[in-house]
């Protein structure tokens, strides 16, 4: 029997936490074992007192400080042991009685991931115009950036396999959008089923703000730009046919002791089996490039590792010319060699 983990993040939900827990506990999941995990994000309104009464029926974890929804959800995912996982908000906006409809879509083998969409049902919706427009815009943006065809990317109800939980990042409300982006990049197919929605306003405890929407737009565009080109730093390159003797320029032969030239002996290798072939004259011939602004640019970009590795692969064949050795060339004895290990 497969297990479903229901992760419930909560923060100051004294008015609703008991109702949502009772409803989740009452949901019948035919053919599925149910695991309920609640993570309290340092509530100060009495939520913890209610959770203590459920400690024998659900797994409860407490954050040491208020850290945001994304970080709270990630803690719950870490503790989850189910084959599939779904996130359930504690504010009664989403009805846990509809979870079986998402499981049914998985059982029918439609997709890898199931989203519960608030925008494909036929119920009339009134009020909350600006939040709905915001969700519509961000959904359209996500569809364009990641070639998706979704109607509601900011839904709470996301049912996904256990192996995908590593894609969920810590943070605030934007973590859910970046999670969807990560699923899309990894090729997981997303299917939507209709769900109901009962929104609440700020006076009732709504926590998401308009600034979260603007921040999410910025993060989505940044994420897409960063992943336009995947880094290939872990892909080994075959350089055996490119190595030649510095003296006679004949191809080198790999041996147990290093790379050997039939006329001029063996060139030693470093600990990573890379030959030490660069001499001082070759280094000095590139002095102009070294003293340009390339080093400064690299230092700046390295403060943003993902952006650095995405961009630099376009330019490194031309620009990455022995940065380190130029600083120590004065200490190398005449006729010596220098190895730049990057």
Can you give the residue ranges of every domain in the chain?
Answer: 2-226, 253-338
2-226: CATH number = 3.90.550.10
User: What is the reported pLDDT for 216?
Assistant: 85
* Phi–psi pair at 307, nearest 5 degrees: -65, -40
User: What is the reported pLDDT for 237?
Assistant: 40
At 237 the three-state DSSP class reads coil
- Burial profile 268-284: b = 16 or more Cβ within 10 angstroms, e = fewer: ebeeeeebbbeebeebe
pLDDT higher at 202 or 47: 47
pTM of the model: 0.64
- Check residue 16 and report its DSSP letter: T
Average pLDDT over residues 268-283: 56
Least confident segment among 124-128, 157-161, 243-247, 315-319: 315-319
State the first-to-last Cα distance of the chain, in angstroms, to the nearest integer: 51
User: What is the reported pLDDT for 203?
Assistant: 64
User: What is the reported pLDDT for 286?
Assistant: 52
pLDDT higher at 156 or 206: 156
CA distance linking residue 89 with residue 139, whole number of Å: 20
Least confident segment among 2-6, 178-182, 229-233, 329-333: 229-233
pLDDT at 44 over 90: yes
> pLDDT tens-digit profile of 240-272?
445 677 667 677 777 777 778 878 777 766 555
User: What is the reported pLDDT for 260?
Assistant: 81
User: What is the reported pLDDT for 197?
Assistant: 87
Residue with the two structure tokens 């939040």: 131
49 token code pair: 């007192």
Average pLDDT over residues 32-42: 97
| C-beta separation of 98 from 20 below 8 A | no
CA distance linking residue 337 with residue 280, whole number of Å: 6
DSSP characters over 108-160:
TT--SEEEEESSSS-----S-HHHHHHHHHHHHHHHHHHT---S-TT-S-EEE
Q: pLDDT category, 174, cuts 50, 70, 90?
A: confident
Average pLDDT over residues 166-180: 84
Average pLDDT over residues 81-106: 95
pLDDT higher at 48 or 287: 48
């Amino acid at each position: 029997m497969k297990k479903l983990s229901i992760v419930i993040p909560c923060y100051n939900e004294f008015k609703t936490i008991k109702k949502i827990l009772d409803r989740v506990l009452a949901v019948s999941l035919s053919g599925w074992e149910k695991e309920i995990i609640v993570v309290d994000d340092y509530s100060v309104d009495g939520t913890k007192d209610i959770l203590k009464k459920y400690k024998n029926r659900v797994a409860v974890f407490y954050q040491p400080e208020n850290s945001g929804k994304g970080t709270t959800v990630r803690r719950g995912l870490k503790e989850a042991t189910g084959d599939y996982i779904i996130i359930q908000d504690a504010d009664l906006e989403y009805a846990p009685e509809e979870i079986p409809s998402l499981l049914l879509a998985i059982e029918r083998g439609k997709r890898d991931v199931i989203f519960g969409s608030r925008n494909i049902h036929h119920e009339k919706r009134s009020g909350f115009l600006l939040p709905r427009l915001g969700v519509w815009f961000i959904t359209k943006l996500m569809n364009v950036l990641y070639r998706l065809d979704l109607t509601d990317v900011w839904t709470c109800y996301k049912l996904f396999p256990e192996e995908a939980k590593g894609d969920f990042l810590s943070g605030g409300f934007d973590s859910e959008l970046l999670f969807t982006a990560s699923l899309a990049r990894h090729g997981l197919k997303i299917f939507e089923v209709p769900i109901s929605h009962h929104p609440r306003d700020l006076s009732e405890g709504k926590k998401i703000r308009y600034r979260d929407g603007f921040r999410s737009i910025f993060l989505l565009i940044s994420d897409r730009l960063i992943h336009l080109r995947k880094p290939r730093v872990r892909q080994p390159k075959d350089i055996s046919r490119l190595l030649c003797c510095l003296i006679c320029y004949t191809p080198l032969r790999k041996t147990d002791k290093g790379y050997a030239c039939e006329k001029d002996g063996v060139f030693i290798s470093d600990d990573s089996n890379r030959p030490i072939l660069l001499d001082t004259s070759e280094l000095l011939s590139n002095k102009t490039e070294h003293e340009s602004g390339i080093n400064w640019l690299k230092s700046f970009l390295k403060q943003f590792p993902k952006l650095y590795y995405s961009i630099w692969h376009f330019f490194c064949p031309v620009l990455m010319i022995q940065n380190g050795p130029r600083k120590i060339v004065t200490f190398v004895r005449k006729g010596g060699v220098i190895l730049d290990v990057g």
